[in-house]
Amino acid sequence: MQTNWHKFIARIYHAFLSLQQVLSYHSNCPNAPYRTFDGTCNNLQNPSWGAANTLFARLIPAKYSDGKSQPPLAKDGSELPSARLLSVEVFEEGVQNSPEFSLLNMQFGQIVAHDMALTRGVRDQVPCCANGRLQPNRGSDCFAILCLPRILCFLFEE
């Protein structure tokens, strides 16, 4: 009888095998003193790790309500609350000076944000929102996150 722990380990192992297939890309890395702008060759043993336009690996399968692209539903079948609404309600806005955080935290955030901006899908944005309002003829790839009255529409592309 397999326990949940064994199932979890098996899932990680299969995710690792999938990751190895995705990352089997090899290129000729230049002998340069600076990192590449797209993230290739930053790891000379695995040149595609962290590169732009490479797939993200999943440890667990995605959970969509329609099995393809719609956000998941609550256990009772109702819609889940907006993630943006929750974040605005839970975390207070405004300037918060915290001595335990430094400029390093901001720089780390910038690295993550810029890395995400170079991933697949950002170049060809789908017009979901304009002036904070949903567009009536938005494409099927558009999943606009509806928020508070002051932030009516937040662009999010699958």
Residues annotated as catalytic (active site), given as ranges: 114
CA distance 134 to 127: 9
- 């309002």: which residue's tokens? 133
Q: Which two tokens stand for residue 17?
A: 């095998």
Please state, in angstroms and rounded to a whole number, the distance separating the CA atoms of residues 40 and 52: 8
C-beta of residue 69 within 8 angstroms of C-beta of residue 139: no
**Sign (positive/negative) of CA torsion 83, 84, 87, 89?**
negative
Sort strands 133-134 and 145-146 into parallel, antiparallel or unpaired.
Answer: unpaired
* Cα distance between the two ends of the chain: 38
DSSP lists the bridge partners of residue 145 as 154
